[in-house]
Amino acid sequence: MPQLETATYLTQYRWTLIALFLLFSFMVVSVLPAVKTNFLIRRSIGAGWTGAPKTSDLNKGPASLWSWDKI
Amino acid sequence: MGAAYFDQFKVVDLIAITNSSMMMMFAVAVALILLKGNRLIPNRWQAVMETLYDHFHGLVKDNAGTQYFPFVFTLFIFIAFLNILGLFPYVFTVTVHVVVTLGLSFSIVIGVTLGGLWKFKWNFLSILMPAGAPLALAPLLVLIETVSYISRAISLGVRLAANLSAGHLLFAILAGFGFNMLTTAGVLNIFPILIMVFISLLEAAVAIIQAYVFSLLTTIYLADTIVLH
């Protein structure tokens, strides 16, 4: 079984970490904030709803957007 | 003969990097391209991704804290794309290798342990003793709970790798069988093809479900760093 070849273990683990970290950084920097901002914009358009965010919320940074607990 | 079915799992050196690492980079690239979308009115694919986002956000918020959401979502996207891209012919499936899945699951469980110890100090060890159990049973219970805590890491990784390996072996065996039956003419040769179609659908479902199970269990384990038992 090629799964049990220990010679490939270190490189595979290293590349797993590299790929996951790469994906994670791109997600955190660009993908997730875009989706979140879209949600917020759509909700701010729905008028009359008490939980709707103010437009100033849209300018917040990505980290504070995630910790915002409403959505 | 028997070993030929396992050839699909072989890690070989391609141009400078191995097929495994090439597949991982490819999955990351495909995931990032498909996740790109900032239309205010989403098209179909963006709607799928936003549904996933919404679902995982709710899931992580209910089970752990929202600070783990980016990690869990990334983990799901990574494993799901590796599994799905691995279903195509002539490509390598990264997640059939136990070292990848066990590497991820052990890293997660070690991270949970460190995070719990960091937050709760020695009180984190109360995870090894269920609340309300009689004290006389403590020596036995602590032993059992320790084993179950450690086996989390093993079961999380082995589940993913074993499911994917079994699926891909089934593909190889049934495809060989079906091709043999096709070449020998007859009315019955429609059945192996039908079975192949069914198995392909099943494996596509397994690919997504296993990725979901992996990230769901990760979320549940991460909850131990938030709430004390």
Number of independent structural domains in chain A: 1
- What pairs with residue B18 in β-bridges? B13
Q: Which CA distances in Å does B54 have to A37, B49, B197? A: 13, 9, 32
Express each pLDDT in B148-190 by its tens digit: 999 999 999 999 999 999 999 999 998 888 888 888 767 777 8
Q: Which tokens go with B15?
A: 């141009």
Measured in degrees and rounded to the nearest 5, phi and psi for residue B45 equal: -65, -40
CA distance B211 to B218: 11
Rg value, chain A, Cα: 20
Nearest Cβ partner for B28 among A19, A37, A69 = A19
CA distance B99 to A12: 7
- Chain A CB contacts of B103 under 8 Å are 12-13, 16-17
* Domain segments of chain B as ranges: 2-225
Find the domain containing A62 and state its range: 2-67
CA distance B134 to B100: 40
Q: Which of A12, A42, A69 to mutate to test the interface with B (most CBs of B within 10 A)?
A: A12
Express each pLDDT in B118-135 by its tens digit: 999 899 988 888 888 888
Tell me the three state secondary structure of residue B170. Answer: helix
The answer to whether the CB of B86 falls within 8 A of the CB of B23 is yes
Q: Which of B33, B81, B97, B105 to mutate to test the interface with A (most CBs of A within 10 A)?
A: B97
Res A63: pLDDT:
46
Express each pLDDT in A25-43 by its tens digit: 999 999 999 998 888 888 8
Express each pLDDT in B29-67 by its tens digit: 999 999 887 788 888 889 999 999 999 999 999 998 889
With 0-12 CB in 10 A as exposed, 13-18 as middle and 19+ as buried, what is B31?
A: buried
Express each pLDDT in B197-215 by its tens digit: 999 999 999 999 999 999 9
pLDDT bin (cut points 50, 70, 90) of residue A64 is very low
Nearest Cβ partner for B69 among A19, A26, A66 = A66
Nearest Cβ partner for B97 among A12, A34, A66 = A12
Question: What is the value of pTM for the model shown?
Answer: 0.87
pLDDT bin (cut points 50, 70, 90) of residue B2 is low
Q: Tell me the average pLDDT of chain B.
A: 90
Q: Does B97 touch chain A (CB under 8 A)?
A: yes
Tell me the three state secondary structure of residue B18. Answer: strand
CA distance B161 to B154: 11
Largest CA distance in chain A: 63
Q: Rounded mean pLDDT of B133-143?
A: 89
Q: Residue B72: is its pLDDT beyond 80?
A: yes
The answer to whether the CB of B72 falls within 8 A of the CB of B215 is yes
**Cβ pairs A/B, distance under 8 A:** 111
CA distance B42 to B44: 7
Q: Do A3 and B96 touch (CB under 8 A)?
A: yes
- Chain A CB contacts of B7 under 8 Å are 2
Express each pLDDT in B73-85 by its tens digit: 999 999 999 999 9
Tell me the three state secondary structure of residue B7. Answer: helix
pLDDT bin (cut points 50, 70, 90) of residue A65 is very low
pLDDT bin (cut points 50, 70, 90) of residue A24 is very high
CA distance A62 to A33: 6
CA distance B204 to B209: 9
Res A51: pLDDT:
55
The answer to whether the CB of A39 falls within 8 A of the CB of A71 is yes
ipTM: 0.88
One DSSP character per residue, B99-132 reads: HHHHHHHHHHHHHHHHHHHHHHGGGGGGGGS-TT
